[in-house]
Structure 1
Amino acid sequence: MNKFIMASKAGLILLLAAVISACSATNNASTSSSASAAAVTTSAATSGAAANVQLASVKTADLVTFDEEDTTATWSADSATTIALNGASATVTGAGATASGSTVTISAGGTYVLSGTLSDGQIIVDVQDDSSVHLVLNGVELANNDSAPVYIKEAGKVIMTLEDGTENTVTDGAAYVFADAAAEEPGAAIFSKADLTINGTGTLKVTGNYKDGVSSKDDLKIVSGTIEVQAADDGLVGKDLVAVQDGNITIKAEGDGIKSTNDEDADKGFIAIAGGTFDITAVNDGIQGETSLVIDGGTYNLVTGGGSANAEVKTNDEGGFGGMGGGGMRGQAPASGGGTDQAAPPEMPAADGVAGATAEAEPGAAPADSSAKASTETATATDTATDTESTSAKGLKAGGDITVNSGSFTLDSADDALHSNSNVSITDGEFEIKAGDDGVHADSLTAIAGGTVNITKSYEGIEGGDITISGGDTHVVASDDGINVSGGNDENAAQTTGEQDQFSSSGSSLLTISGGTLTVDSTGDGLDSNGSITMSGGTAIVNGPTGDGNGALDYDGTFENTGGYLVVAGSAGMLQAPSDASSQYSIAMTFTDSQEAGQLVNLQDSDGNTIATFAPSKTYRAVVISSPDLKEGGSYTLSTGGTSTGTAVDGLYADGAYSGGTEVVSFDISDSVTWLNESGVTTATQGMGGGMGGGRGGFGGGARPDRGTAGGTPPTGDDVQ
């Protein structure tokens, strides 16, 4: 019986190594109880050793509290001060506020109910103590031609309630006149220098023609309501934090959609979202936390930088000399007939690993055809540690950890869809991702423990200094590498030192697969680790490259396989299989000629039990299969063609009967890796060494741990029987 579980998805990043970095990146994620507490923690992994990875249970409630004041939207007419707006004037009934022409000043704590229209005026909150102000918008139209219609100068806290059944609009002018030109404040249609909370069930429509829509220099909390923001720069900004409990939020921003900005205090500068509905179109990032970003739920539709269709055009290293995606010249596949994939090495590509493309700096340049104002962000530690300027158009981004506990996400970004300068942890949720660059990127650890991640378009699928997949259903489509485990940050060193890439083969980076399903369709490398790979459970399916410049499996150290199901199809020029140290058995088959896409590959034991039936989605010349059902001393037959009555998911058939195929080779298993060609069992020998990829030695030499007795490379033509 076919025991393969249907596959899921994987990630990717292109790495190049024309120049091997002398510095290996640190993959230790710090743990903390603060806002920047690690969503995941990992110890530095040694080559071939299992990573010590734990997912921390970080929730929004661990970072932020919504107190009774925040959630109270009710008010009493008996105790409230009413402010009736009438064009260029206002009438105040009650204490704590005064009106002078079109300016209303609130100077004491209390509840203030606003209604009517202010055509060119301002609501100022200036309370010189720690009192709270409850500002009820009861159907207002507020406008100011040269400043912020709502300017909160000082207060303990301001709670803005959107009265049930009302629509409230706030609009500023495109140019401000400042009382203090040096301060350049206010800078948003609703601008607060105190903590600001928005609640209620009404509607708030904000048009920020000058810069931001709603901005707080302290905390910004949203409890509920329908909020629509159109901004010349950022939509919603909270310096110390942005916290959302619920609400229906729509943002169109020429800068970032939602962002926090405090980069001086590790306990601040975060974004915590418990739920809500978010429809964000931004020229720059969709949701950006200066420190961390934690999401417990909600529905998200984010388009950044004009979407993936507007991304910088990149070309992968397919067919490049030495496999620039971390590959390097490995042992060649058996050449008894000379497959169509084998060709003479082309000219040396540019040293950026993308055959003449630009080295990866901060990806996602502003869309060339966008009419939006593509604001250029000065590079900081949250984005890139260089002195250059860059435009970021990521979907979800954080300078620290990104933790997703649940939610439904549709992300279409010109840049990375998820990007963390630290760790990314996905424990649940549903993701539909189109990315112009990486689908998921973490400088340190990328961990997927649950949920459904479907990356339908990316340059590189999933990337991290370390990557662990312990659960969930993950699918990756990548125009370059699918899963890429790299030695650190992909931006900083390349831009500051002139080297082409920070990633190098440090031997400490690790891809760990222990559960879940992972399906990869890549034009570059499929599973690519600049360190090692361990697999102890789950299912991994790889439809890898068709050209010999990349490999479906690509690792520098070892690939220790102790469990799970692995099915790999792709090119043969750089074919690798699990290492000989693996306790679970594998077979690696190389065909003389390329096989047609969709043609079944079937592996059966001598009793006619199917070990695997697989239909690769692309042409292929090599297949690797590892299964707990493969046993030492067992006899097996590999066939192609034919049909199966089983049900295929991601090309892998569950149950059903196989028939009508053509037997290619029969063999017995005596080693942990059995290398095969159409003549039978052959032996793996040391290949050509490192070449240009990932620190694998020089041309024509450089023995690697996975060569020879390690069983990591296919036989050369001299070994064909």
Structure 2
Amino acid sequence: MKTDHTIIRRVSAAIAAIVAGVALTACTAATTTTTGTTNTITGSTAAATSASAAELLADNVESHADSNDADYDASGATTITLAEGASKTNSSDGVTIDGDTITITAPGTYILSGTLSNGQVVVNSTDDGKVKLVLDDASITNTSGSALVVTESDETVLILAAGSSNSITDGTGYDTSADDAPNAALYSADDLTIGGTGSLTVTGNTNDGITSKDGLVILSGTVTVTAVDDGIRGKDYLIVEGGTITVTAQGDGLKSDNEDDDTVGYILVNDGTVEISAGDDGMDADGDLAISGGTVTIAQSEEGLEGSNVLIIGGEISVTANDDGLNATQGSTTDTGQGGGGGGMGDDGSLLSISGGSLTVDAGGDGLDSNGALEVSGGTTVVYGPTNNGNGALDSNGGITVTGGTLLAGGSAGMAETPGTDSSEGWVAVTFDSQVSAGQTVTIVKDGETIATYTATKQIGSLVVADPSITTGESYEVQVDGSTVSTVTAGEGASSGMGGGPGGGGPGGRG
């Protein structure tokens, strides 16, 4: 394997741009409407982030990929035509063919087409330089192991040729127990980049769909993955710069799990369209998990987005989870079966930060859960939280601070938690004497003017609304389907979770 990571390069161009962008604060008059619901806020919108969030992003190792990695010159490329027992190439330089095993041994550009119904493509290049594999209507299946394996390469770029449809499928039940054993249909021991404008369908029948033991970057293309375990895994990091990615996985959808230090094990989504249905976490990072743009839909998961620090900076994000929607924790929760932050009541130093974008969460457990701090400084966030009193729409061990943006969080009342009194943005908290049923609309009114509306998608017993148009200390009328049910004072409310107290900000719910 290559040793480039012995020299750690700091702050990729993508991360640097995010840090520069989200460190700014903006505030303009506007009316914000959440997509797919009738929830609205009338007032001003704000965008900002804490210095801690920017610092966390800046500390990660740099991406290996270049924006032009998917460019290639077909005129000078080596062509490989795949055929059962009859694969051939126009040049023997850098290519060996042994039955149905094709091995690429040197940097360069290789265009693959045709079908291998039971074979393998191997990249084993010890020289400096990128290996570019252009898939141009290529179908690679290996019934007894991984279909495409990179054992060694400075960097491998998988390019999906324009207009092409490609597939990679592995076998069922092959041995993946050794530390360096290929364990995915598409497996790389070194850095892997995927780009192009064609399509790729990957089926992982034994373990993962796509795995890189180093970094994995998706620049573009239409990538569809089905896997019996994790869908797409980049051990050091997983970065999505664009493309359309659809993952159906029995394990995690997207995963990065290097625990060596806090500069690796991160997931970053800068752009593109990502849709995930997962049996475990939608996205799971041992380090930071950051979304700065694109459209992300977690259609099914146990926990939607989980990382040591979860940073929502931009984009349109929808999360559906049986347990917690977003979970910032220094230790995994679903692997141990603890759920809901698993780790006691102490502040573990993690951060859940929302500084921009549009976020909708539908959670059976905690909606937004941090084992450390929970900070909202921008964007529009709507939470459809739990119906059981053992969880809350908002849950933190280190307190909740709201300094900008819009937050509407409804859920059960038993573990309800509110922002702390040190929040500079106004907020109101409502505990209903009678449960609000699915389909009913809660309206916050000030002097006859509608400040916010929230239409419940399931039964709720409490609601927290924060927005720049709310002024701390002033009274607001609460209506349900047009009938006044109570009057509340902004900035006042009791956190009824364990350890909580009047005024909010105390830890509520599970750890």
Letter in 1 for 2:8: S
Matched, 1:407 2:247: no
> What's 1:471 paired with?
314
Q: Tell me if the contact between 2:446 and 2:477 (Cα under 8 Å) persists in the aligned partners.
A: yes
For residues 87-130 of structure 1, the C-alpha deviation after alignment (integer angstroms, 9 at most, x for no partner) is: xxxxxxxxxxxxxxxxxxxxxxxxxxxxxxxxxxxxxxxxxxxx
Instruction: State the distance in 2 between where 1:485 and 1:570 align.
Output: 19
> What's 1:576 paired with?
417
- Pick one of 181, 194, 199 that aligns with 1:277: 199
- Pick one of 120, 131, 136 that aligns with 1:213: 120
- Pick one of 117, 121, 139 that aligns with 1:228: 139
Q: Tell me if the contact between 1:224 and 1:245 (Cα under 8 Å) persists in the aligned partners.
A: yes
Q: Displacement of 1:490 after TM fit?
A: 5.6
> What's 2:369 paired with?
528
Distance 1:632 1:506, change over 3 A: closer
For residues 398-417 of structure 1, the C-alpha deviation after alignment (integer angstroms, 9 at most, x for no partner) is: 11111111111111111111
> What's 1:674 paired with?
492
> What's 2:223 paired with?
300
Q: Displacement of 1:280 after TM fit?
A: 1.4
Paired residue secondary structure (1:547) = coil
Instruction: State the distance in 2 between where 1:618 and 1:525 align.
Output: 14
> What's 2:477 paired with?
637
Matched, 1:250 2:167: yes
- Pick one of 416, 432, 439 that aligns with 1:598: 439
Distance 1:523 1:582, change over 3 A: same
Superposed CA RMSD: 3.6
Q: Displacement of 1:708 after TM fit?
A: 4.2
For residues 251-292 of structure 1, the C-alpha deviation after alignment (integer angstroms, 9 at most, x for no partner) is: 22226221102xxxxxxx011112231111211212111100
Instruction: State the distance in 1 between where 2:419 and 2:285 align.
Output: 25
Q: Which moved more, 1:513-522 or 1:627-636?
A: 627-636
Distance 1:688 1:506, change over 3 A: closer
- Pick one of 431, 450, 456 that aligns with 1:610: 450
> What's 1:286 paired with?
209
Distance 1:614 1:150, change over 3 A: same
Matched, 1:707 2:493: no
Q: Tell me if the contact between 1:508 and 1:532 (Cα under 8 Å) persists in the aligned partners.
A: yes
Q: Displacement of 1:631 after TM fit?
A: 1.2
Matched, 1:416 2:229: no
Instruction: State the distance in 1 between where 2:83 and 2:381 align.
Output: 57
Higher strand share: 2
For residues 232-252 of structure 1, the C-alpha deviation after alignment (integer angstroms, 9 at most, x for no partner) is: 211211122431233332122
Q: Tell me if the contact between 2:215 and 2:234 (Cα under 8 Å) persists in the aligned partners.
A: yes
Q: Tell me if the contact between 1:484 and 1:529 (Cα under 8 Å) persists in the aligned partners.
A: yes
Matched, 1:259 2:262: no
TM-score normalised to structure 2 length: 0.77
Instruction: State the distance in 2 between where 1:516 and 1:301 align.
Output: 25
- Pick one of 272, 282, 286 that aligns with 1:429: 272
For residues 185-210 of structure 1, the C-alpha deviation after alignment (integer angstroms, 9 at most, x for no partner) is: xxx6223444574227xx321122xx
Instruction: State the distance in 1 between where 2:98 and 2:457 align.
Output: 53
1:486-635 → structure 2 map (5 Å cutoff): 486-489=329-332, 503=343, 505-606=346-447, 608-635=448-475
Distance 1:502 1:582, change over 3 A: closer
Instruction: State the distance in 2 between where 1:410 and 1:618 align.
Output: 28
Distance 1:463 1:585, change over 3 A: same
Letter in 2 for 1:475: S
> What's 1:455 paired with?
298
Distance 1:194 1:507, change over 3 A: same
> What's 1:32 paired with?
8
Matched, 1:143 2:55: no
Gaps of 5+ in 1: 1-28, 75-133, 161-169, 173-187, 262-268, 306-392, 642-660, 676-683, 690-703, 715-721
> What's 1:664 paired with?
485
Distance 1:580 1:260, change over 3 A: same
Letter in 2 for 1:707: G
Aligned length: 438
Q: Displacement of 1:61 after TM fit?
A: 1.9
Q: Displacement of 1:640 after TM fit?
A: 0.1
Instruction: State the distance in 1 between where 2:460 and 2:235 align.
Output: 40
Distance 1:190 1:438, change over 3 A: same
Gaps of 5+ in 2: 20-49, 172-182, 258-264
Instruction: State the distance in 2 between where 1:490 and 1:631 align.
Output: 37
Paired residue secondary structure (2:160) = coil
Equivalent pairs: percent with the same residue? 31
> What's 1:361 paired with?
none
Distance 1:189 1:547, change over 3 A: same
1:16-415 → structure 2 map (5 Å cutoff): 32-33=8-9, 50-51=52-53, 52-54=55-57, 58=63, 60-61=65-66, 71-73=74-76, 134=78, 137=81, 141-143=83-85, 157-158=94-95, 189-195=101-107, 197-199=109-111, 203-208=113-118, 213-218=120-125, 220-232=131-143, 233-239=145-151, 240=153, 241-247=155-161, 248=164, 249-254=166-171, 256-261=184-189, 269-275=190-196, 276-283=198-205, 284-305=207-228, 393-415=229-251
The structure whose RCO (Cα within 8 Å, separation 6+) is larger is 1
Distance 1:430 1:501, change over 3 A: closer
Instruction: State the distance in 1 between where 2:434 and 2:234 align.
Output: 47
TM-score normalised to structure 1 length: 0.55
Instruction: State the distance in 2 between where 1:662 and 1:207 align.
Output: 67
